[in-house]
């Protein structure tokens, strides 16, 4: 039986990201007979100009840089908890599914793991990042059903 050598984990940095990373880590450790699979983390930030379509008459580059810095810090914290090296943590700018596909190709990944919130109604009709990743990937994709945190 073959095992996954390189797993790309796409995280949205929500509270549920740890669930997705835990599943990927379990697969990475359980599939290899001699060594755990390599894990790379990624978070994709859509450019603010996409969100606002250029309707705001101001320079958003400083805000975009702050978003990138915050995302890198959060990704670093998650990676540190799992022993994932900084060079395997990627904060990218662009359309999430496209950037994840490109990273998986560039890194020769053989599995992409993303979270799925199981949306219904309008959100389902408009699609999701997990759906976009699934329908363009050249490797296996695992969509982890995330559960909202339980209040204590």
- Assign residue 31 the CATH number of its domain: 3.40.50.620
Angle between helices 61-82 and 17-31 (to 10 degrees): 40
Kindly state the tokens that stand for 7: 């797993």
**Burial bucket for residue 13 (CB in 10 Å: 0-12, 13-18, 19+):** middle
Task: Find tokens 């978070």 and name the residue.
Answer: 43
Query: Hey, how many other C-beta atoms are within 10 angstroms of the C-beta on 112?
Result: 27
What range defines the domain where residue 108 resides?
6-145
CB of 140 closer than 8 Å to CB of 9:
no
Average pLDDT over residues 91-119: 92
Number of structural domains found in the chain: 1
Highest mean pLDDT out of 60-64, 77-81, 123-127: 77-81
pLDDT band at 135 (very low <50, low <70, confident <90, very high): confident
């Amino acid at each position: 039986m073959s095992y996954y050598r390189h797993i790309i984990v796409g995280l949205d940095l929500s509270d549920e990201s740890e669930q997705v990373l835990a599943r990927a880590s379990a697969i990475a450790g359980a599939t290899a007979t001699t060594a755990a699979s390599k894990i790379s983390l990624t978070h994709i930030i859509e450019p603010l100009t996409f969100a606002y379509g250029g309707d705001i008459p101001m320079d958003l580059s400083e805000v975009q840089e702050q978003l990138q810095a915050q995302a890198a810090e959060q990704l670093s914290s998650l990676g540190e908890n799992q022993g994932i090296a900084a060079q395997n943590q990627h904060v990218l700018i662009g359309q999430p599914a496209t950037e994840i596909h490109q990273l998986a190709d560039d890194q020769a990944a053989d599995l992409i793991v993303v979270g799925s919130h199981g949306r219904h109604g309008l959100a389902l009709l408009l699609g999701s990042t997990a759906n976009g990743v699934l329908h363009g990937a050249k490797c296996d994709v695992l969509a982890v059903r995330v559960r909202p945190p339980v209040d204590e």
